[in-house]
Structure 1
């Protein structure tokens, strides 16, 4: 494409469709587009409008990067891909974003319009491809409607329950002149939630009555709290109205876990070694459960067995279809921030003396349970000299390094549980990012990359298993190219841990695919230009971690961990070591 001056672009003179798309993206606050070369016309045009290209190696990872960027920045993220095989690799990360309500705009190049339906090179029906994993898919067919379609894409992504969308652009159309004024539309739609709507006032008042009159209420907060940026509101409700708060994995960080009314994470890992093991009765014996931004999915409810049948339920969510999905509830459909503010005020007009009177006993119960848990894991793992290294020991060390502003990321499977159970959220709003929509392996590092782009000065640490990390080794080079100071911790047990342990529990045997040959991930990191350190001695980890965090450059710690170690998953019951003795 002929190079154009910035002045010509700014004036709208001779703008192409690619220019106009870039200008519209910039109007919506886009500063980074995750993408490889295609659509080339867009990426060549974008820098003149202040949009930086973050070039991934694989689209699957690129989609997860956009997801991580959106979660931290509170902005709609953009990822691009060419038609055909590249587009298909966006399906998995878009499915994750759809399930966990993260707004991402995918700009996907199509074959030239003149070649449509002629079996052109890499031609594919992208409408059918993306139909089940996005909120909205449209093609720009007219050069004079670019702004209309870009605005619709951002509006669809950021409004209501946020999610991914796809904007298709034929390759030849991108080179066409874009008629009309570039200033025809001026709205900026790139922040989410785009529209905040409070739940009906009469329902808020009724919910306040239920909470004020409850004997043993419990608030359970999911990932929607972070999407709404309503952590301050839930923290105020907790403190001012003496309400105990638990979170799901996605909701972790909603409240300060050192607060005396914070239980921690509840769900499917509440066995021995869980922070909330001795607090299970606060869930099972609650007479009122208040779900906030929670999907009541299988993991968060321990396969729908955790929550009591006889309790009263209140459910607040932006998506009316989620409210009462699994537990018939008093409905609060609306934005979490606005609705929690209204509920806080409504409770302030009611007599909550019983709640205040019960608070000391609740705080004592939580404090004892957490203290006993900390004592147990410290005695068992803090000074454990054994090798291979125990992951619990690593988590204790990581927790000493975290600050309230650290961003903690984990891959799916065991990694998500290790950080959710053993690390401490030190303030309301601290971010712990995990792929809990579809829980696909390989997204730990890409999510961290997106988070680091969103907060360049933040300390970003990601924990991944060796099985999942093998999905995205190639993105290590991106850390060096973009100077991203991410610390990657590989829990290297040479197995697919969850799979091997789960098969052992279910079948008393396991498939051949769960065991790996030894891999030196530190050597792979060094080959990519990342500092790689292999650790077999548990006493070497904390000094290496401290050095890595302060170095402000990409570092990978490849830690040889015990293959029999597993998080406190309730369904496992016995320890894996005991089960292996029977195999």
Structure 2
């Protein structure tokens, strides 16, 4: 019987912490860890990826969709470096992830040997806990602290392990003060609640408001019932930050949908006209979309004290879990008899939804991207998990795919990284094998980590990938024009035949360019077993408009056309044309 190694202790301890899945790619800097995982393959699943960045994205998404610790693994040097983008996604969106990496032989570190990158130094910014394992007796303590820290502080922990020490004989006995088994794998989520005084002060502010808006984000995802009761009690519309899209369903009469540049007009109008703001579990980063400072009295519910007042000055900060805090707050709130502010928001939402329906059902050719999102949203079951990429695709995801109660929707929120969509959908399917998992992605984002189609095939994952193909880095193109008044430059993409590529991976594939056939093609894709890719060829000149276009943006847009924007005649006929004609 082979003697136990230090890497075996590490894997055993991960099992004690309830880890069931590790995403990663083998390499000679982690051979000891790979052998330990092989020996425990009946108890812990190793998902082999084609790029370490995808492993980190998957670990982040696994944490988002399961509520558990996500774990990723990479070899020394370049393998560990590749993890960083996905780990920053976890850091900025507050997800518990443990990254495991290898180092070269411990006695050659710092001598410019092959792949001699001191990853613990490199990971100093991304990780809340970051350590180098010094030997077998060090493993148990480090794994416990790393897992506990990631879960307690909702962030990234990193452990790096010299390759020769991984295979060293297991020895839990260390220094005289390092008593074996002294650390614990027990962890309790915070039971913190605001004080009674803070609750009463918050209630007094909310009870005195007449035009109250609730801004709900990622931290409110587990507080659906409480949010709906709160909105009814206060007569307050619920505007949603994108990471909080699924906190209340979009068919609720209390929500005005998303906020910000990708948001809805009713949400923007509610924030512009409110006198009271209640922020629940959100640090939505776009400060310009909040009420003007001093316009509204504000209360914030937030688990992380460091985020209180981060975006908007608040009078009372309630530190605690959103659902439990609202349960304590609700009995102190009076029923708001005046409903006109809510009713105006509801009428605005009816008009907005009609506009989204019109844009989602237009039969113009080239096909509009909104049509694909609209037809997809109509066909998603109540238990679907939808993962979106970054770019113009995010606009159509935010507006044209309504969230139903029971669904999960997520993306790279604060980092807004491209390439996350497919890895997210893979992780969703692994976390919830019985639920439909859909990746709604752009051609730019998908092409970055397209090799993960092989991961879908390797593990027979029934993931549906809908790629919006406009042969452009669309969001950058529009930002160049609308923000700066310059013609687009460097944004055109060499077209990729995604259908042929997908079939080359062994993935079933369909093509759509006729809007009249869009719905039926999506139904065929969903009825096909196994991973499926749908390539939707769309109008590359359809702009991701903000909720309202101000004259400054329209002026910049007109300047871009005058300076020689390619395809300016076609672009001038888009939804921006009315504003442009006011100026030229």
1:71-86 → structure 2 map (5 Å cutoff): 71-86=64-79
Kept in 1: contact 2:259–2:267 (CA 8 A): no
Query: Structure 2: how far apart are the matches of 1:306 and 1:526?
Result: 50
Q: Larger relative contact order (C-alpha < 8 A, sep ≥ 6)?
A: 1
| Residue in structure 2 matched with residue 45 of structure 1 by the alignment | 36
- CA gap 1:505/1:363 in 2 versus in 1, 3 angstroms: closer
Alignment partner of 1:19 is 2:8: yes
| Displacement of 1:196 | 3.2
| Displacement of 1:29 | 0.9
Kept in 2: contact 1:502–1:572 (CA 8 A): no
Query: Structure 2: how far apart are the matches of 1:367 and 1:246?
Result: 12
Alignment partner of 1:221 is 2:216: yes
Which consecutive residues of structure 2, in runs of 5 or more, have no partner in the other structure? 174-178, 565-584
Alignment partner of 1:358 is 2:338: yes
Query: Structure 1: how far apart are the matches of 2:532 and 2:60?
Result: 22
The range that moved more, 409-418 or 53-62, is 409-418
Select 2:197's aligned residue among 181, 202, 227: 202
| Displacement of 1:307 | 4.6
What's the secondary structure of 2:347's corresponding residue?
helix
Kept in 2: contact 1:286–1:308 (CA 8 A): no
| Residue in structure 1 matched with residue 546 of structure 2 by the alignment | 569
The range that moved more, 306-315 or 87-96, is 306-315
1:144-159 → structure 2 map (5 Å cutoff): 144-159=137-152
What's the secondary structure of 1:483's corresponding residue?
coil
What's the secondary structure of 1:309's corresponding residue?
coil
| Displacement of 1:326 | 2.7
| Residue in structure 2 matched with residue 341 of structure 1 by the alignment | 327
Kept in 1: contact 2:120–2:159 (CA 8 A): no
| Residue in structure 2 matched with residue 377 of structure 1 by the alignment | 356
| Residue in structure 1 matched with residue 577 of structure 2 by the alignment | none
What's the secondary structure of 1:358's corresponding residue?
coil
| Displacement of 1:514 | 0.7
Kept in 2: contact 1:289–1:312 (CA 8 A): yes
Select 2:525's aligned residue among 534, 545, 548: 548
- CA gap 1:266/1:537 in 2 versus in 1, 3 angstroms: same
Query: Structure 2: how far apart are the matches of 1:579 and 1:526?
Result: 43
What's the secondary structure of 2:127's corresponding residue?
coil
Which consecutive residues of structure 1, in runs of 5 or more, have no partner in the other structure? 5-13, 271-275
Query: Structure 2: how far apart are the matches of 1:346 and 1:550?
Result: 50
- CA gap 1:281/1:373 in 2 versus in 1, 3 angstroms: closer
In the superposition, the TM-score normalised over structure 2's length comes to 0.89
Query: Structure 1: how far apart are the matches of 2:232 and 2:5?
Result: 55
1:125-274 → structure 2 map (5 Å cutoff): 125-160=118-153, 162-180=154-172, 184=181, 187-188=184-185, 194-226=189-221, 229-239=222-232, 242-270=235-263
Kept in 2: contact 1:27–1:186 (CA 8 A): no
| Residue in structure 2 matched with residue 331 of structure 1 by the alignment | 317
Query: Structure 1: how far apart are the matches of 2:48 and 2:292?
Result: 45
- CA gap 1:478/1:45 in 2 versus in 1, 3 angstroms: same
| Displacement of 1:517 | 2.4
- CA gap 1:117/1:381 in 2 versus in 1, 3 angstroms: closer
Kept in 1: contact 2:98–2:157 (CA 8 A): yes
What's the secondary structure of 2:131's corresponding residue?
strand
| Residue in structure 2 matched with residue 309 of structure 1 by the alignment | 294
What's the secondary structure of 1:253's corresponding residue?
helix
- CA gap 1:88/1:572 in 2 versus in 1, 3 angstroms: farther
Q: RMSD over aligned Cα, in angstroms? A: 2.4
1:278-317 → structure 2 map (5 Å cutoff): 278-298=266-286, 301=287, 303-304=288-289, 306-307=291-292, 309-317=294-302
Deviations 1:475-510 (CA, angstroms, capped at 9, x unpaired): 111100011111111111111101111112234433
Kept in 2: contact 1:261–1:362 (CA 8 A): no
| Residue in structure 2 matched with residue 399 of structure 1 by the alignment | 377
| Residue in structure 1 matched with residue 573 of structure 2 by the alignment | none
Kept in 2: contact 1:21–1:147 (CA 8 A): yes
| Residue in structure 2 matched with residue 273 of structure 1 by the alignment | none
Kept in 2: contact 1:197–1:338 (CA 8 A): no
| Residue in structure 1 matched with residue 98 of structure 2 by the alignment | 105
Query: Structure 2: how far apart are the matches of 1:137 and 1:514?
Result: 38
